[in-house]
Structure 1
């Protein structure tokens, strides 16, 4: 378990993380989300003792990282897959890392097979593609069979097969009762992987909720309707308390009235419905709603007829 307790980290007069508290529990995949510059990397570095808090503390299985008896078997982490001697092969890199804590060659071969690098394990890591480098970083994180796994952007550079593999791996680790903490900007994948979400913006926690609760809150009171006579239905439903958005010629998204009432109105006026169901929000939509005011770096659309040179 990871416990972040009133963590604050300042650089000069700037607070990268400001009184942040949350808990990452065993048996769940916990997603860590936030815009660029929100404080995610600082928080993860503080968990590993790489950044000293200005105030507050972080506990890993009840202890500060520096006080862990066996850090690598307690928490395996990937923060930067490029942080290695690129002249070494993947096999030698893992052997050297394992030798520092008494891990033998058999385990090295096991994790190489697990991440799919056995066939290229003797190639210099500097010649690896981005995705292969990510796989090596994940192998290093899993080398000591840790109870806690913390990965920063693990799907970066992976192909679709690799993304499915890491999703399945993380879900399996959580099912074994391990603690899994995952940071990513890929909303569609996080939605499929995480059970719980911690969202940070401008150094402060915005949300700390189960995935289902976050999505239910965004999709509340919205209904999707498919009807050949959608134009007639719009006129019957629209009122000061109800908004109707036409998503396609025969598809409406209605906010402010329950599905049962829409069905009753349609039946009363002889309007056939081909589909009627509560709208389901995506994580991307929920995330954008939560973090809109916390985005520090926001681009602007290119004007029509202009070009970026």
Structure 2
């Protein structure tokens, strides 16, 4: 269990994290989402004691990270895959971590096999690709067999096989009863990986909710309608209480009425339908809708250079 209570971080006049309070519970994957600059990495660094909060607390299983008697056996983390000595081999990097934390040698061999690096254990860490560096960082996080795990953008640099692998690993770890907090910009992956979402913007909590509920509550279901009598049907649907807007290729997008009701309205007025397709908002669409006003580094419309 990770518990944050009014966690706040100021850098001079800049507020990076602003009164965050939420729990990361065991037995599920919690996706940690937010635009660039939202404060995700700063929050993770405060959980791990790498940055001191200005106010509030971040505890792991009831203690601050600095007070844990055997940190690597209780918490594993990947924040920066390149934060290794480039001249040290994969094996020696893990050896140094294991020796300093009283972890047995056979555990090194286990995690090397788990992350797929056993065949290149003698390769210098500085010669690894970003994807292989991510795997090494994950191996280090798992080395102490901890109950609590934090991963900051773990799929960066991974090939498609690697993305599927990390997705399966996260879900397997959660299924074992571990606490798993993972940040990512890939909404398609979060939709397949996370059970629960914590969304922040400009350092503030925007949502703390189950994935399915987040999508369900973010917007009404829309229905794509294709008909040769678009203007007529749009008029009739508005009369029935729907919000209607033009879609691509002479279609309509209707919100506020189920597809069955739309079909009945069309039948009652003799309107021919060529397509009637319900559309449930995706995680990406729901996320964009929620964080629209929290984007700090967005592109300027109309700027082509």
Relative distance call for 1:256 and 1:46 in structure 2 (3 A) is same
Q: Give how far 1:235 is off.
A: 4.1
- Check whether the contact 2:220–2:256 (CA below 8 A) recurs between aligned residues: no
**d(CA) in 1 for partners of 2:165 and 2:67?**
33
Provide TM-score, normalisation by structure 2.
Answer: 0.93
- Check whether the contact 2:218–2:290 (CA below 8 A) recurs between aligned residues: no
**d(CA) in 1 for partners of 2:15 and 2:99?**
38
Q: 2:189 maps to what in 1?
A: 189
Q: 2:4 maps to what in 1?
A: 4
Provide TM-score, normalisation by structure 1.
Answer: 0.92
SS in 2 for 1:238: helix
**d(CA) in 1 for partners of 2:15 and 2:240?**
44
Which deviates the most, 38-47 or 278-287?
A: 278-287
| Runs of at least 5 residues in structure 2 that lack an aligned partner in the other structure | none
SS in 2 for 1:119: helix
Q: Give how far 1:104 is off.
A: 2.2
Q: 2:120 maps to what in 1?
A: 120
Q: State yes or no: 1:201 paired with 2:195.
A: no
Q: 2:245 maps to what in 1?
A: 245
Q: Give how far 1:263 is off.
A: 2.1
String of CA shifts for 1:69-101, please: whole Å, max 9, x gaps: 221111100011111111011111111111112
**d(CA) in 2 for partners of 1:170 and 1:116?**
15
**d(CA) in 2 for partners of 1:221 and 1:120?**
49
Q: Give how far 1:182 is off.
A: 0.4
Which deviates the most, 7-16 or 128-137?
A: 7-16
Q: How does 1:163-242 map onto structure 2 within 5 Å?
A: 163-225=163-225, 227-229=226-228, 231=230, 232-239=232-239, 241-242=241-242
String of CA shifts for 1:133-188, please: whole Å, max 9, x gaps: 11100110011111111000000000111001000110111111111100111111
Q: 1:159 maps to what in 2?
A: 159
Q: Give how far 1:250 is off.
A: 6.5
String of CA shifts for 1:94-146, please: whole Å, max 9, x gaps: 11111112222221111111111111111101011111111100110011111
Q: 1:17 maps to what in 2?
A: 17
- Check whether the contact 1:117–1:135 (CA below 8 A) recurs between aligned residues: yes
**d(CA) in 2 for partners of 1:24 and 1:243?**
38
Q: Give how far 1:273 is off.
A: 4.9
- Check whether the contact 2:4–2:21 (CA below 8 A) recurs between aligned residues: yes
Count the aligned residue pairs. 304
| Runs of at least 5 residues in structure 1 that lack an aligned partner in the other structure | none
- Check whether the contact 1:7–1:20 (CA below 8 A) recurs between aligned residues: yes
Q: How does 1:100-115 map onto structure 2 within 5 Å?
A: 100-115=100-115
SS in 1 for 2:155: coil
Q: Give how far 1:221 is off.
A: 4.2
**d(CA) in 2 for partners of 1:224 and 1:25?**
38
- Check whether the contact 2:73–2:145 (CA below 8 A) recurs between aligned residues: yes
**d(CA) in 2 for partners of 1:136 and 1:128?**
9
Q: 2:280 maps to what in 1?
A: 280
Q: 1:296 maps to what in 2?
A: 296
- Check whether the contact 2:227–2:275 (CA below 8 A) recurs between aligned residues: no
**d(CA) in 1 for partners of 2:112 and 2:247?**
48
Relative distance call for 1:274 and 1:70 in structure 2 (3 A) is farther
